[in-house]
Amino acid sequence: MRLSRPAWPLAAGFFLVWLCVLYLGADHPPPLGFAWLVLLDLVAALLVYRRVPTYVDWHAARWPHRGLRVLCDGALIGLVFGTATLLLSVARLGRALPLDWEPVFTWLLVLTLVGAANSALLYAFIAGG
């Protein structure tokens, strides 16, 4: 597979920015579980790499409602990542989901919004450059 010119710098930048954010939020030195966050960051960067050509095409073709579609893409990926991390956490601890729905809802909402913001920022980089 040939690297598309705008895709790999955006994916690498995404990976490095989020790696820094995750590291700044981690205990120091980071625990062994931090490796899972790095792996999730790498998966997200690969998704960015795969999605950039589509966003470039949408921008070039001036598809109607492309902004909404970009936000929905990011929100869906954020929701999937939120659900995956929640389920992995539950499986690792060997417990059932908490009976309190507020923390679960908050976690999923925050990751959904972060996903939408990430995709909007990615599209802004593509549209601006």
Residue 96: predicted pLDDT: 67
Q: How confident is the model at residue 61 (pLDDT cuts 50, 70, 90)?
A: confident
CB 125, CB 52: distance < 8 Å: no
> To the nearest whole number, what is the mean pLDDT of the chain?
86
The overall pTM is greater than 0.85: no
- For 63-89, the pLDDT digits (tens) are 888 889 999 999 999 999 999 888 887
Domain spans in the chain, listed from the N-terminal domain onward: 7-128
Cβ count within 10 A of residue 114: 17
